[in-house]
Amino acid sequence: MHTSSSYRGVWRRVAMSVCAAAVLGLSACAVTSTASSGNTTLALPAAEKWAMLPLLNRTETPLAGLRAESIVEPLLVQHGLTQLQLYPSALAKDSMLAADDRAAVDAARQWAQSQTIRYAIGGSVDEWRYKVGVDGEPAVGISLMVWDLQTGQVVWSGVGGKSGYSREALSAVAQKLISKLIEDLPLTRGASAAAQ
- pLDDT at residue 24 tops 60: no
Q: Which pTM does this prediction carry? A: 0.78
Burial label, 61 (beta-carbon count in 10 A; 0-12, 13-18, 19+): middle
Q: Which tens digits make up the pLDDT trace of 153-166?
A: 999 999 999 999 98
Specify if 4 maps to a domain. Answer: no
| Residue 64, helix vs strand vs coil | helix
Name the domain count of the chain.
Answer: 1
pLDDT score of 114? 96
Specify if 61 maps to a domain. Answer: yes
Q: What mean pLDDT comes out for the span 81-94? A: 86
Specify if 9 maps to a domain. Answer: no
Specify if 23 maps to a domain. Answer: no
CB 77 within 8 A of CB 121: no
Specify if 160 maps to a domain. Answer: yes
Specify if 10 maps to a domain. Answer: no
| Residue 104, helix vs strand vs coil | helix
Q: Which residue range is the domain that position 98 belongs to?
A: 28-188
SS3 labels along 29-45: CEEEEEEECCCCCCCEE
Specify if 86 maps to a domain. Answer: yes
C-alpha Rg value of the chain to the nearest Å = 22
Specify if 1 maps to a domain. Answer: no
Domain containing residue 59: CATH number = 3.40.50.10610
